[in-house]
Structure 1
Amino acid sequence: MTGRPPPGRSERSTRRRHLTLAVAGILALSAPALTWPLMPDEAGFLLVARHWDPGPGTLYGPLWVDRPPVLIGTYRVADALLGSYGVRLVSALLAVAAVLAAHRLGTALGGARAAAWSTAVAVILLGWTTLATWAGKSESLGVPLVLVACWLAVESTRRTERWSGLATALAAGVAATLAVGMKQNLVGGVVFIAVLMTARLVRGVSPRRPAALLLGATVVGGALPLVVVLLWGARVGVSPQLLWDVLLGFRADAYAVISETESQANTARALRLVGLAVVTGIVPLLGWFVLRLVPALRRHPEVGLALLAVIAVDTAGVVLGGSYWDSYLQVFTPAAVLVVALLSTMPGSTGAVPRLVTVGMVVPLTVSLVTGATPSATQGTATGTTVGRAVQAAAAPDDTIVVMHGAPNVVHASGLSTPYRHLWSLPRRTLDPDLDELHAVLTGPDAPTWIVVVHAVSSWGLDEDGEVRRTIGSSYERHGTVCGIDVWVLRAEDRPPLPPSDCERPPSPRGDR
C-alpha cells in the first residue's frame, strides 16, 4: 500500500464538509433513542452492572450473564457517570468514531471518492433503527471498535515513521480485543489484523523486520485488555477457568439447547434476517465484492484477503448465533465499509454501482424513520417497561420480583430486586432446564413478592411436570393484568391494585433510574 499525494486545499475543505455532515447525521439518527425505553438486554446488563459482586465461583455475583467483563464494566461506568441512558450516549460516540474510521479507511484505500462512499455506507448502516444500532447492545458497542481496529491496522502499514506505525498497530490490537470484550463473536477486527499482517509478512511487501514488528505490536496490543481482565480476575478471585466456562463454555451448551428446541419464532426470525440483509444493502455489497474479488486481490491483496476472511467469520458467527435477532446484522458493517473503500474507485467499477447500492439503502432507512416515531424493536420493550412501572406503583419498598421467562426490562422498570439469578430465558433454559433452581427460590425464604408472566411458564418445554405452575397457583394469587400480561402476588401480602396503564403509548424514560 503506497501513500497518496496530499490533497489540495479545495479537496480538504470538501472532505471536512462531508465528514461534518456525516457526523451530524449519525448523531441525529442516534438522538431519538434517548426518548425510547431501555431494551431487555440493556436493562439486564444494567442490573448486572449495578449488582456486580465478583468472587470465587461467581463472575458477577447474584445475577448471571454470559457477557465479558469489558461490557459490564462499560455499563457500570456509564451508569455511574451518566445514569441509565449513559450507555446509549457511549453507543452514539462509538458510532461517531466508526464514521470517522470509515472515512479514513476510504481515504487510505481509494482516495476522496472512496472516502465519501464508505462514510455514507457507515452512516446508513449505523443509522438503521431496525437493527437496534441506537441501543447499548453488545453489537452496537463492539462493531464500531471492529471498524476502528481495521482502520488503525491499515493506517499502521502506511506510516513511514517506525514508532508512529508501531503505536498505531498497538492501538489496532487493543481496539480489536475490546470489541471481543463487548461480545465474544465480534472477532472481525482480530481476524482482519491477523490476516492483513501475516499476509504482508509472508508476501514480503515491506522489509521483513518492520513487517514483523508491526505484527508483534498488534499482538501485544491485542493481549493488553486480556491481561487486564486476568489480573482483575486474580485480584477478586475469578479464575481463568470460570471466565472460560461463562464466556465460551456456556455458548456451546446454549447452542445445543437452541438446536434441540423446535422454534417457529427462530425460523421466522432467520427468514426475516435474510430479507433485512438484502434490504439494508449488505447482501448486494458483499455480492459486489465476490464478483470483483480477483481484481480486488490484485489491487490490494492483503486487505482483500483479510476482508474475505472477515466476511467468512462474520457469516459463520451469525449462523451459529442461533436466535437470529435483527441486531446480528450489525456485525457486517465493517465488511460493507471495506468493500466500498476497496471497490468504489477501482478500474471497471463505475460510480453507478455504489450510488445504486447507497440509494437502495437510504430509501428504506428514510421510510422507516418517517413512518414511525419508534422502531418496531421497542414495541415489546415498551410493554415490559409499562408492566414494570405498574408493579412499582403497587409494590412495597422491600418487595422482590421474578419474571417468566426473561424480560429483564420488567425487573428494571419495577425498581425491585430479584432473588433468581437468571434474567434471560436462554441461560434459564440452559443452566436451569428443569427449573429446580427457580422452584427452590419460589418455595424458599426469599420467595419473590411478585411474579410477572411475560411468557407462559411452560414455554420452550420448561416445567414439564407442572411443579412451578402448581407452586404459583398455591402460593400466589393473580393481582391483575397489565397490557395482557398477568401479574401475581404472594397470597400472604396485601398490596394495592395495579394502576391503570396506557399500553398504546410508549413510556417516557423519566422512571428509568
Structure 2
Amino acid sequence: MYLALTIGAMVAVRLCFLGLPAGRDESGYLIVGNAWGDGDSLYGPYWVDRPPLLMWIMDLAGNLTALRLIGLLSCVLMVLGVARAAYVVRGAQAARWAAAAAALFSTAHWFGVPRTNGEMLCAGFVAWGIALAAQAMVGQQRRAWLPALGAGVLAGCAGLVKQTIGDGVVFAIVLAFAVGWQQPAARRRAATVLAAGAVGVVVTLAVGLTAAAARGTSLAELFDALVTFRAEAGEVIRRSASGATTDRLLTLLATWVGSGLAFIAILTAWHVARRRDPVLLAVLAVIAFVSGTAILGGSYWGHYLFQLVPASALAVGLLADQVRPRLRTALAAFTVVALLGNLVYTIAVPPQDGATAEVVGTWLRESGEPSDTAVVAYGQPNVLGNAGMSSPYPYLWSLPVRTLDPELTTLSAVLTGPDRPTWFVDWSGVDSWGITHADRVQGDLRDHYRKVATMCGRTIWLERGENRTLATPGTCP
C-alpha cells in the first residue's frame, strides 16, 4: 500500500506537467524517430548522435503526449526497481525509503522531469539492472547467472538509448569485485555474475545494432556518430564556451547541492570509508561515474542530474538506518522542502522555455500548407514539431551544424537545391553560435527567399516562388 501511494503521488504531480510546451530534444527525437526510413543520413533523412533504441521509442510514441506518458512509465519502473534493489540488500524499511526518494526526485522540475529525455527513458532499465545485479551477488539466488544475464540485457538496453549511460555495468563490476575481494568464497559467484552479465550486454547490443542495420543505419555510421562525433563535438564545445556555459555549470552545481543529491553523495562516501560495504561502494562508483560524465560533457544541462536519481535513491534506502535519527529527519525535511518549493514555484510561475518555439511553430502551421517544409537556424526542432513540418536539412540541432557543417556547405546546397524548404526561420542570426561562414547563406536567402514576418524577434523567410496567407501572430512570452 505504501508503495502504491508513493507512486500515485508521483504520477499525480507529473500529470500536471503534461501540457507544457515541447522541449527541443523531445521534438527533435520525435521528428527523427517518426521519419526513420529512406534517406541519405544516419536515420533516413536526419542525423543525430544517439543510439537506435531511442529512435525506436520515439517511433513507438509518435506524438508528444504519448512520449511523456512513456517517460512517466519509465519513472514508475525506476521507483519499483530501486525499491526492489533496496529490499534485496537491506529489507522492507530500506525499500520504503528508496522508493520515496526516487518518487520525490522524479517530481523535481529542476531535473527537467516535465520533458522526456534519454536519462529518464533509461531510468527503468538502470534501476532494474541494479536490482538484478544485487540479486545475483548478494541475494539468496541459487542460480546467480540468471539475474546477472537479465542485468546485462537491461544495461545493454540503457546503452542503446543513450551511449554514455553505463550505470548498470559500473554497479555490477564494482559490486562483483568488492564482494570477491572481501569474501574469497564468493569469487566463483562473482566470476559467474560478470560473465553472464557480459553475455547479456553483448547479445543485446548485437541484436540492437543488427536490427538498426536492417533498417538502414549501419554499424560504421553509428560508430562515427556515437564515438567519433562526440570527440569532435567536445572540442567544438570547448572552443565555443562562453559566459553562458559557466552559468550553466554554476546552476548545475547549485542544483546538485540544493536538491539534496550532494548530501547523499557525501554521506555515501563517508559510510563507504567507514564500513567498506560492497553495495554502497558500488552505488558510490555509479554516482562518481555519472557525475564525471555530466561534467566532462561540457554542456552542463540540468536534466543530466536525473541520471543520478536511481543510484542516489538506492543510497537513501541503504543509509536510512545507518544515520542518526535527528540527522536523517533534518536531511529528509530539507530535501522535501526544497523539492516542494521548487514544485510550487514552477506551477505558480511556469517556465517559458519552449513557449517562443510554440508561438512561432503554431504561426507557421497556420500560415503554411500540408506539404510545406522548413529549416530553423540553428536548432530549435520544437519549432518544426509545433509547425508539423519536416526539414530537408539533416541537422536539427546546433552542435551537429557547428561540428559537421561548419562552413554551411550542406545548408547552402539545401537552400539552393530543387527541394529547398518553403520556410526559413532565422532564430538567432545565421552568424550565431560561432558560425564564421554565414555570408554564403545570407546570399542564398536574398536570392531565393523574401522576409515575410518577424515573430517574437525571429525573422521568417518564405521561398520566393510561394505565396501564403499569413496567420495572425500569436502572443509572445
Q: TM-score range by the shorter chain?
A: over 0.9
* Correspondence 1:32 to 2:16: yes
Structure 2 distance, partners of 1:465, 1:90, is: 40
The residue number in structure 2 matching 1:13 is none
Structure 2 distance, partners of 1:44, 1:223, is: 29
The residue number in structure 2 matching 1:72 is 55
How far does residue 321 in structure 1 lie from its aligned partner after superposition?
1.4
The residue number in structure 2 matching 1:135 is 115
Structure 1 distance, partners of 2:326, 2:252, is: 27
Structure 2 distance, partners of 1:159, 1:245, is: 40
The residue number in structure 2 matching 1:152 is 132
The residue number in structure 2 matching 1:12 is none
Structure 2 distance, partners of 1:200, 1:332, is: 23
* Correspondence 1:269 to 2:248: yes
Please tell me the residue identity of whatever aligns with 1:157: M
Q: Of 319, 340, 345, which aligns to 1:371?
A: 345
- Equivalent pair of 1:200/1:206 in contact (CA under 8 Å): no
Please tell me the residue identity of whatever aligns with 1:122: A
The residue number in structure 1 matching 2:264 is 285
Unaligned 5+ segments in structure 1 are 1-16, 505-513
Please tell me the residue identity of whatever aligns with 2:449: Y
- Equivalent pair of 2:51/2:163 in contact (CA under 8 Å): yes
Q: Of 303, 308, 327, which aligns to 1:332?
A: 308
Please tell me the residue identity of whatever aligns with 1:168: P
Of residues 189-198 and 225-234 in structure 1, the stretch that sits farther from structure 2 once superposed is: 225-234
3-state SS of the aligned residue for 1:488? strand
3-state SS of the aligned residue for 1:452? strand
Aligned residues: 477
Q: Of 78, 103, 109, which aligns to 1:98?
A: 78
- Equivalent pair of 2:18/2:114 in contact (CA under 8 Å): no
How far does residue 160 in structure 1 lie from its aligned partner after superposition?
3.4
Structure 2 distance, partners of 1:338, 1:468, is: 52
The residue number in structure 2 matching 1:199 is 178
Backbone CA RMSD of aligned residues: 2.1
3-state SS of the aligned residue for 2:375? strand
Q: Of 434, 442, 449, which aligns to 2:422?
A: 449
Structure 1 distance, partners of 2:139, 2:295, is: 37
Structure 2 distance, partners of 1:108, 1:385, is: 46
Structure 2 distance, partners of 1:116, 1:50, is: 39
Equivalent positions of 1:249-268 (< 5 A) are 249-268=228-247
The residue number in structure 1 matching 2:288 is 312
Unaligned 5+ segments in structure 2 are none
How far does residue 273 in structure 1 lie from its aligned partner after superposition?
0.6
How far does residue 464 in structure 1 lie from its aligned partner after superposition?
3.7
How far does residue 46 in structure 1 lie from its aligned partner after superposition?
0.5
| Post-superposition CA distance 1:429-483 (Å, at most 9, x none) | 1100111111111111122111112221111221445221232234322211222
Structure 2 distance, partners of 1:317, 1:328, is: 9
Equivalent positions of 1:82-231 (< 5 A) are 83-163=63-143, 165-204=144-183, 206-231=185-210
Change in CA separation of 1:30 and 1:350 when aligned onto 2, cut-off 3 Å: same
Structure 2 distance, partners of 1:196, 1:291, is: 18
Change in CA separation of 1:481 and 1:256 when aligned onto 2, cut-off 3 Å: same
* Correspondence 1:436 to 2:409: yes
- Equivalent pair of 2:74/2:121 in contact (CA under 8 Å): yes
Change in CA separation of 1:265 and 1:151 when aligned onto 2, cut-off 3 Å: same
Change in CA separation of 1:375 and 1:434 when aligned onto 2, cut-off 3 Å: farther
Change in CA separation of 1:59 and 1:270 when aligned onto 2, cut-off 3 Å: same
* Correspondence 1:342 to 2:318: yes
* Correspondence 1:417 to 2:390: yes
Identity of aligned residues (%): 36
Change in CA separation of 1:220 and 1:177 when aligned onto 2, cut-off 3 Å: same
How far does residue 498 in structure 1 lie from its aligned partner after superposition?
3.0
Structure 1 distance, partners of 2:157, 2:476, is: 39
Given the two structures, how large is their TM-score scaled by the length of structure 2?
Answer: 0.94
Change in CA separation of 1:397 and 1:338 when aligned onto 2, cut-off 3 Å: closer
Please tell me the residue identity of whatever aligns with 1:253: E
- Equivalent pair of 2:42/2:221 in contact (CA under 8 Å): yes
Change in CA separation of 1:75 and 1:457 when aligned onto 2, cut-off 3 Å: same
| Post-superposition CA distance 1:57-106 (Å, at most 9, x none) | 74311111111001111111122xxx432121111111111111222233
The residue number in structure 1 matching 2:454 is 481
Structure 2 distance, partners of 1:341, 1:393, is: 51
Structure 2 distance, partners of 1:474, 1:239, is: 37
How far does residue 35 in structure 1 lie from its aligned partner after superposition?
1.4
| Post-superposition CA distance 1:366-402 (Å, at most 9, x none) | 22322343876x5231210221110111112222100
- Equivalent pair of 2:41/2:394 in contact (CA under 8 Å): no
| Post-superposition CA distance 1:255-295 (Å, at most 9, x none) | 11000113221111111111111111111111122233222
The residue number in structure 1 matching 2:4 is 20
